[in-house]
């Protein structure tokens, strides 16, 4: 939905307020929550629908589908297939929408005559692309692989898309703010000056 909003902002800037109205925004947010709720019901039903008779300790830091399914005594093949299919539709569908939006954005940007306009358009999309790569890259790695190939790296991938990506999102999107960029440049300049001063002192000693 953010990719669609950027597509409208860059490809049809004069109609942005008309297309992305407050009513449309509410509808997009409501549909996101509805689909997330539906996904949660399906994943929970698939994960906890079997019988548990073994150990109750999972090899993970939260109750994700794959680690919990390892504790189920009954056959989990149908649940795994359903989760795999639903995640594939969800992830691939979102990726297709994002790719189509950004292909249209790229075509529009390449037709722009002003280099400043092109730079502004790319700057508008950069933060969203960073968040998309972080989230979808780790989610694809985590879910779209056979259950037999799941390793300890799954925990690292889970940390990235459940903890790191939401934590970095405010920072990524605040990079568009001039005051934040100015503060970061000041910190970088101060760090470089401090490092250079220490280096001069070490040479003198």
pTM here is: 0.64
Q: Which run of H or E residues covers position 38?
A: helix 22-48
Q: What are phi and psi of 30, to 5 degrees?
A: -65, -40
Q: Where are the domains of the chain?
A: 2-174, 179-205
Own/partner pairs, 58-61, CB within 8 angstroms, 24+ separation: 60/154, 60/155, 60/158, 61/155, 61/158, 61/159
**Angle of CA points 127, 190, 199, to nearest 5°:** 125
**Between 155 and 22, where is the model more confident?**
22
Residue pLDDT, tens place only, 45-56: 888 877 777 667
Q: Which two tokens stand for residue 33?
A: 């929550």
What confidence category does residue 144 fall into, taking pLDDT thresholds of 50, 70 and 90?
A: low
**Between 127 and 38, where is the model more confident?**
38
Lowest mean pLDDT of 67-81, 110-124, 172-186, name the range: 172-186
């Amino acid at each position: 939905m953010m990719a669609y909003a950027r597509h409208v902002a860059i490809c049809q800037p004069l109609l942005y307020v008309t297309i992305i109205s407050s009513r449309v925004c509410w509808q997009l947010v409501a549909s996101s929550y509805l689909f997330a709720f539906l996904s949660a019901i399906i994943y929970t039903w698939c994960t906890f629908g079997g019988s548990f008779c073994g150990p109750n300790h999972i090899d993970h830091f939260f109750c994700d589908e794959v680690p919990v399914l390892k504790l189920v005594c009954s056959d989990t093949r149908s649940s795994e297939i359903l989760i795999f299919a639903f995640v594939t539709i969800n992830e691939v569908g979102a990726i297709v929408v994002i790719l189509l939006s950004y292909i249209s954005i790229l075509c529009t940007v390449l037709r722009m005559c002003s280099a400043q306009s092109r730079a502004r358009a790319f700057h508008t999309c950069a933060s969203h692309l960073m968040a998309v790569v972080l989230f979808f890259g780790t989610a694809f790695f985590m879910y779209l692989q056979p259950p037999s190939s799941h390793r300890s790296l799954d925990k690292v991938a889970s940390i990235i898309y459940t903890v790191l990506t939401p934590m970095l999102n405010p920072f990524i999107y605040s990079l568009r703010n001039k005051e934040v960029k100015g503060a970061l440049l000041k910190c970088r300049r101060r760090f470089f000056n401090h490092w250079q001063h220490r280096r001069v002192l070490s040479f003198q000693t």
